[in-house]
A and B are shown apart, each in its own frame.
Chain A
């Protein structure tokens, strides 16, 4: 029996865990229909230029081939950007159109789609397609495009441009005695979710389609595909009940959706397209970014100026943007701040949001620079942060809705044993290894979105809570079930959560860490509406013991609605449902974030990350032996799934610090390590002790008090490790990942 309320706030196991480990959770590539055909994409081998000709002869005569689509024979596609901009996560520019024309915009761009009777035959025939190109010389290194960087772009929806300068950072810096100005680079990365991109389109007949696609929010691909292919939204259903990792990669519809759906309509058959692991490196990535941070301070550590400049890569056709430098005006109290953000175009696919977009890069540079400053000052790195603690958001001149970062610093430092650290670099060793300890601050915005929710109670007392969000592995199913169980006083085993279906109430894509706050509150308000409905039905019963009661007079528990003042007076859920005259009682509601509150307060999550590394002095082998990540992120709905969000973020931070790098060949414009063997993510051996602390934080931005956790775990983690490597070795590495060669 797990009926112990409240569920919210406890470490409840994943309600979908058993489905996942037994293979019953269905992913996009696992849906099937009779007569289904299989598609395989053929990627371009050049990065820039145009297709002169495509030779399909060998592929056409290969066994099982049904059709091959190219830009020359594809069904009609709209020739203006507008339909393609029906993408809630679109960025300014001209969205990519697969199989549209002969232009090659990046290596790996699909040039043909082979359709066959089996997946294997499709792959085989795809390997027989050859093309000739008129190739131009590509540029894939942002450093080579930096002289053409520009800041004259249309801002991306939802991404605040850097705030205007405050004070005079330049003059202050010039006149300062204690200062530094350094450049930083973090290697470009790819998301590498375990699940491959896939779309299965089920041809339901009569123009109706059910599309199963890997996405962080079903409504976005639905709107997009209906607009681009001119489909009747009433005939299209999109589902994505389970997602095997996403990290931002599938916020936007990718080309698999368009080409698979176009093919299904053309052939009037069900189609499945699964991309290869290599093709996963030809879309969405964390952009290569060149950063310069300049800091000046008084002798006591008080910051006098901060300047942060970033040049970020984007594609030739879109101005992808993320908030990279803004954090430098926010995290510390400083009167003179100058922030600049520019883009530079290279011949790659458009970057995309990747876990803590902007912050993961920008805060990393700032926090390494702060560490450097602490050594200049001869001051403890944590002391320096406390000295410059920001009590309000200076970018927007607002108080924080809550900010328990000080408690995070204190509890993290205590758990880590920070006070025992010898502050001198190279001062701690054990045998052949140098020991280093470093720390960093992390920060991420706490956001919310308008969000629909639905709650349905059956006469048997089973509750279903539902909304069109996605569970990308974060634990959404579980927290929604917890919230539902608490609202109706039910055993959680009597609650089912449903997400990932356009037949469910409207939800935005799941991203930006707004999922828990938005979907969670949507389910909460839907449950409140359901309780109203149930009470109404109960009141209407003949001789109802609740005749004049309103919601505040009753409680919902143990399958009954009872008077608070006299719990002998009650109506069972079953009687209430039956009294409604229907088989079940259902209520839908919209959660609307409190705009007034958002206008008055700034809401952020914070972290204090402490890292210990051991570095072989001669050989440069780095081991991250300990990490303590202390998180202030409002109310924690589920301690188990929350902890695993932070662990995942920290592991990605280890990857950013030491391992991960998408490597392009500059002449060919092609990713060379497009597989999980050569794109190094941390292996188990690289991940040792990680302690997660959730600091108590009371936040009023929404009734649940939730701020969201998806991104904060990665922010600051890489910087803490890089700072620890400096403390160990005395060597400052400013281009991550810190591989062996950089420490020799």
Chain B
């Protein structure tokens, strides 16, 4: 933990200016991740710019029939918003699968997108880590890696993005609104987080000083035919070993459109449009779902302790697709996997 200065921003512009002009400054929202990282000496900001008083707490209807969620809407409020519960139950379910009630009360929509990996080595300032200190090495590759990536990893980093909420946002095809010193822009969800490549220090495509102002959801689809299935090392309050956000639209008896996103397996929520396309026109069945799962997991590779995730993910995708197609989504309060 180190000493830092603290200011509270009153406008979005001020906040951006304060952070953009100082490489050691950081936005702080709920603080549930950033403060932890500071206690571990992983993040050592000289200055914190508190954005929690900014007017980004509303959930507004959009002209396209969707919703625009302010970056400061707390995770709990979002999950229990009546429009979200009614029209985007997949998102509500994914949020409620994560963390604990206390954390969800404090955590914000923007902060959730920007939370950092839970890789053990990343959290330990006493050891090397390419994400924390570029070029220092990646002990996870040959170390304790049961929670690490099986897809999209690189030689320099095998970390995963830990969010549950983001997996649902990826499946729903959300858009991220950001504002920075050079103005505002939108980023499609799949382009928001990135794969580690040879610059694992970058989790996403935001520039320093850019702020997430909102997350936009397209018009609702899928009705009850969705699920968020999270598998973890205890029944609550643990990050996903593997999670699946799935949604299908049936066209008569066959699948019209399907969405599948995986969490806990890569540096970003993992979607493969070809895998989703494979389901089009198929009757919901084990063979169809297994085929899609295999395509989704094509190229998956373990690093020893996490080899099991490949088979676990395959089975989880199949189960999730059955849950979604049947319109019997996983209930987050009951731990029985239906």
Binding site for B on A (CB under 8 A): 43, 45, 62-63, 120-121, 123-124, 127-128, 276, 278, 431-433, 614, 616, 618-621, 623, 658-659, 663-668, 670, 672-675, 677-678, 680-686, 739-741, 744
Q: Mark B30-62, 1 if CB is under 8 A from A, else 0.
A: 000000000111001000000000000000000
Query: Which of A431, A673, A682 is B120 in contact with, Cβ under 8 Å?
Result: A673
Query: Do residues B335 and A663 form an inter-chain contact, with CB atoms below 8 A?
Result: no
Query: Which of A623, A675, A739 is B235 in contact with, Cβ under 8 Å?
Result: A623
Query: Do residues B2 and A432 form an inter-chain contact, with CB atoms below 8 A?
Result: no
Q: Shortest distance in angstroms between B99's beta carbon and chain A's nearest beta carbon?
A: 9
Residues in chain A near residue B336, CB distance under 8 A? 431, 433, 614, 623
Query: Do residues B139 and A665 form an inter-chain contact, with CB atoms below 8 A?
Result: yes
| Docked CA distance A123–B1 (Å) | 6
Residues in chain B near residue A667, CB distance under 8 A? 139, 142-143
| Docked CA distance A616–B320 (Å) | 14
Q: Shortest distance in angstroms between A536's beta carbon and chain B's nearest beta carbon?
A: 59
Q: A621-B337, A685-B335 are in contact. Are A663 and B144 (CB under 8 A)?
A: yes
| Docked CA distance A664–B3 (Å) | 30
Residues in chain A near residue B146, CB distance under 8 A? 741
Query: Which of A127, A619, A659 is B234 in contact with, Cβ under 8 Å?
Result: A659
Residues in chain A near residue B39, CB distance under 8 A? 276
Query: Which of B3, B120, B236 is A121 in contact with, Cβ under 8 Å?
Result: B3
Q: Shortest distance in angstroms between A24's beta carbon and chain B's nearest beta carbon?
A: 24
| Docked CA distance A674–B118 (Å) | 12
Residues in chain B near residue A123, CB distance under 8 A? 1-2
| Docked CA distance A744–B310 (Å) | 11
| Docked CA distance A43–B233 (Å) | 29
Residues in chain A near residue B219, CB distance under 8 A? none
Residue ID in chain A nearest B126 by CB atoms: A45
Residue ID in chain A nearest B99 by CB atoms: A677
| Docked CA distance A678–B228 (Å) | 22
Residues in chain B near residue A741, CB distance under 8 A? 146, 308, 312
Of the four ranges (under 10, 10 to 19, 20 to 34, 35 or more), the interface on chain B belongs to 35 or more
Query: Do residues A431 and B231 form an inter-chain contact, with CB atoms below 8 A?
Result: no
| Docked CA distance A124–B238 (Å) | 29
Q: Shortest distance in angstroms between B239's beta carbon and chain A's nearest beta carbon?
A: 8
Query: Do residues B1 and A680 form an inter-chain contact, with CB atoms below 8 A?
Result: no
Quick check: is B198 within 8 A (CB to CB) of the other chain? no
Q: Shortest distance in angstroms between B222's beta carbon and chain A's nearest beta carbon?
A: 23
Residues in chain B near residue A674, CB distance under 8 A? 124
| Chain B residues numbered 126-155 whose CB sits less than 8 Å from any CB in chain A | 126-127, 139, 142-144, 146
Quick check: is B315 within 8 A (CB to CB) of the other chain? yes
Query: Do residues A670 and B319 form an inter-chain contact, with CB atoms below 8 A?
Result: no
Residues in chain B near residue A63, CB distance under 8 A? 3
Beyond A127-B2, A621-B231: 9 further Cβ-contacts under 8 Å? A45-B127, A128-B2, A431-B336, A433-B336, A618-B315, A623-B336, A659-B234, A665-B139, A741-B308
Residues in chain B near residue A668, CB distance under 8 A? 127, 139, 143
Q: Shortest distance in angstroms between A259's beta carbon and chain B's nearest beta carbon?
A: 19
Residues in chain B near residue A432, CB distance under 8 A? 337-338
Q: Mark B213-232, 1 if CB is under 8 A from A, else 0.
A: 00000000000000000010
| Docked CA distance A121–B41 (Å) | 14
Residue ID in chain B nearest A63 by CB atoms: B3
Residue ID in chain B nearest A618 by CB atoms: B315
Query: Do residues B235 and A685 form an inter-chain contact, with CB atoms below 8 A?
Result: yes
Query: Do residues A683 and B126 form an inter-chain contact, with CB atoms below 8 A?
Result: no
Residue ID in chain A nearest B120 by CB atoms: A672
What are 27 sample pairs from A and B whose C-beta atoms fall under 8 A apart? A45-B126, A123-B1, A123-B2, A276-B39, A431-B338, A433-B336, A618-B315, A618-B319, A619-B319, A621-B231, A621-B235, A621-B335, A623-B335, A663-B120, A665-B144, A666-B143, A672-B120, A673-B120, A673-B144, A681-B234, A682-B234, A683-B235, A683-B238, A686-B234, A686-B235, A740-B241, A741-B146
Query: Do residues B234 and A685 form an inter-chain contact, with CB atoms below 8 A?
Result: yes
Query: Do residues B126 and A672 form an inter-chain contact, with CB atoms below 8 A?
Result: no
| Docked CA distance A552–B118 (Å) | 68
Q: Mark B303-338, 1 if CB is under 8 A from A, else 0.
A: 000001001100110110000000000000001111
Q: Which 10 A-B pairs have the closest CB atoms?
A: A45-B126, A672-B120, A741-B308, A685-B236, A685-B235, A123-B1, A683-B236, A683-B237, A665-B143, A124-B2
Quick check: is B27 within 8 A (CB to CB) of the other chain? no
Query: Do residues A124 and B124 form an inter-chain contact, with CB atoms below 8 A?
Result: no
| Docked CA distance A683–B232 (Å) | 12
Query: Do residues B238 and A744 form an inter-chain contact, with CB atoms below 8 A?
Result: no
User: Which of the listed residues B1, B120, B144, B234 has the most CB atoms from chain A within 10 Å of its own CB?
Assistant: B234
Q: Shortest distance in angstroms between A421's beta carbon and chain B's nearest beta carbon?
A: 21
| Docked CA distance A614–B146 (Å) | 24
Residues in chain B near residue A663, CB distance under 8 A? 120, 144
Q: Mark B1-25, 1 if CB is under 8 A from A, else 0.
A: 1110000000000000000000000
Quick check: is B121 within 8 A (CB to CB) of the other chain? yes
Residue ID in chain A nearest B237 by CB atoms: A683
| Docked CA distance A658–B335 (Å) | 15
Query: Do residues B335 and A619 form an inter-chain contact, with CB atoms below 8 A?
Result: no
Query: Do residues B312 and A670 form an inter-chain contact, with CB atoms below 8 A?
Result: no
Residues in chain A near residue B316, CB distance under 8 A? 619
Query: Do residues A619 and B127 form an inter-chain contact, with CB atoms below 8 A?
Result: no
Residues in chain B near residue A665, CB distance under 8 A? 120-121, 127, 139, 143-144
Residues in chain A near residue B1, CB distance under 8 A? 120, 123-124, 127
Residues in chain B near residue A124, CB distance under 8 A? 1-3
Residues in chain A near residue B118, CB distance under 8 A? 677-678
Query: Do residues A672 and B143 form an inter-chain contact, with CB atoms below 8 A?
Result: yes
Query: Do residues B311 and A659 form an inter-chain contact, with CB atoms below 8 A?
Result: no
| Docked CA distance A684–B235 (Å) | 8
| Docked CA distance A614–B338 (Å) | 13
Query: Which of A278, A431, A744 is B311 in contact with, Cβ under 8 Å?
Result: A744
Residues in chain B near residue A616, CB distance under 8 A? 337
Query: Do residues B139 and A619 form an inter-chain contact, with CB atoms below 8 A?
Result: no
Residues in chain A near residue B233, CB distance under 8 A? 659, 680, 739-740
Query: Do residues A678 and B235 form an inter-chain contact, with CB atoms below 8 A?
Result: no
| Docked CA distance A120–B336 (Å) | 44
Residue ID in chain B nearest A664 by CB atoms: B144
